Amino acid sequence: MALKRVVVTGLGAITPIGNNLANYWQALVNGVSGAAAITRFDASLFKTQFACEIKDYNAEDYFDRRDARRLDMFSQFAMIAADEAIADANFGENYDKERIGVIWSSGIGGQITFQEEVSKFAIARSKDENAPPRYSPFFIPKMIIDIASGNISIKHGFKGPNYSVVSACASSTNGLIDAANLIRLGYADAIVTGGSEAAITEAAIGGFNALKALSTRNDDPKTASRPFDVDREGFVMGEGGAAIIVESYESAIKRGAKIYAELVGIGLSGDAYHLTAPHPEGEGAAIVMRNALKDANMDASEMDHINVHGTSTPLGDVAELKAIEKVFGKHAYQLNVSATKSMTGHLLGAAGAVESIATIMSIVNDTVPPTINHFTMDPEINPNFKLTFNTAEKRNVNYALSNTFGFGGHNASVIFKKIDA
């Protein structure tokens, strides 16, 4: 059986630097930082007191009051991004909804709901040790990760494959890969896929601080996420969501859909090394990129741009560049490499979808977003790399790759191609 081609026909985003697709892309090109002091809670006693929050957000601008109360913020972000992407794809009334699926991802899910409900019970017990356990009937339905895909499916009546994927920070790229494979094999004609995260909470910030994973540059949050800089010292937490409509090429052509790009290569691998640290020589990262190139049936010399995982951690950034050198050889220095987490922060399980959109838009616009906040080159990094520092760069982008890596050694890569006229 010949595998079906997979194309992208809809995009949607709500990010710390733009609350829709157009604003997100414009901010990326302009090198805008989304980092600022945390407003979700009083962070004055935490080692890290800043994050990349969604700006000017009011749930009741998108949902009625009852629905806003019944949806954890990660689900709200999921539905907002999905609504934009679905409208962008413009399926029409005659599209068979049994052939449209939803695969949604998150690394943590309803963190806000979990913290609130457990805290309420703990407070009640502190006042009365015999206080009966009282939890909201919406506690579990608001918290579980798969509820986002369920909510999207219910709202739009999509009855195709419906589930969630969790692989830490690689989650939404893994979800995108699952969606592509289901379309390739003919199990669906189109799938709404993506990821969302709302983990700027006391528990999450405190937990990542305990791991020493977060930047503590409280005096200068906007420059705290600085991939490849010698003074980088941790990632910046982000929140938001992104949705991508993947569809069979046959279906898209039949209905005259707008096509952003073709998804031509997918790669998966495991580090098999450490719970949180990448392999220092980038072995797993090299494997996953080779697998994606092989799946795309392309030569490494054809690649134009890589949106790297690039979290701004001392170990991760160097290991990923070593992997790129292993895979691409001398061509590695002809690639434009970008670390867009320097602007959005790290959206954990949503990072792959958010950065895949940046990668797709770089192809559509022949423009590579910058890696901002670069001041001093790390001597461990080969200076021959084109790391697109501080300013976006125009170039013809026919092929672009997006990398995403997660705690536990989960690696996922996707390759997009400019669609033939």
Task: Indicate which residues carry an active-site annotation.
Answer: 169, 309, 346
Q: Give pairs for 183-187: CB < 8 Å, separation 24+.
A: 183/4, 183/6, 183/246, 183/247, 183/248, 184/3, 184/4, 184/6, 185/1, 185/3, 185/4, 186/1, 186/4, 186/248, 187/101, 187/160, 187/161
> Please, are residues 246 and 19 in contact by the beta-carbon 8 Å criterion?
no
> Please, are residues 412 and 177 in contact by the beta-carbon 8 Å criterion?
yes
Structure tokens at 370: 């910058």
List for the chain the helix, strand, coil content (%; round to 5): 40, 20, 40
**Phi, psi (degrees; rounded to nearest 5) at 108:** -120, -30
Contacts of residue 331, defined as CB under 8 A and 6 or more positions apart, other chains included, come to: 300, 301, 303
Give Cα separations from 269 to 119, 257, 317, 406 (angstroms). Answer: 38, 33, 18, 11
Give Cα separations from 402 to 289, 308, 382, 390 (angstroms). Answer: 9, 6, 21, 19
d(CA 59, CA 76): 7
> Please, are residues 412 and 288 in contact by the beta-carbon 8 Å criterion?
yes
Nearest one of 400, 374, 350, 362 to 29, comparing CA atoms: 362
Q: Checking DSSP bridges between strand 240-248 and strand 261-270, what pairing results, if any?
A: unpaired
> Please, are residues 247 and 7 in contact by the beta-carbon 8 Å criterion?
yes
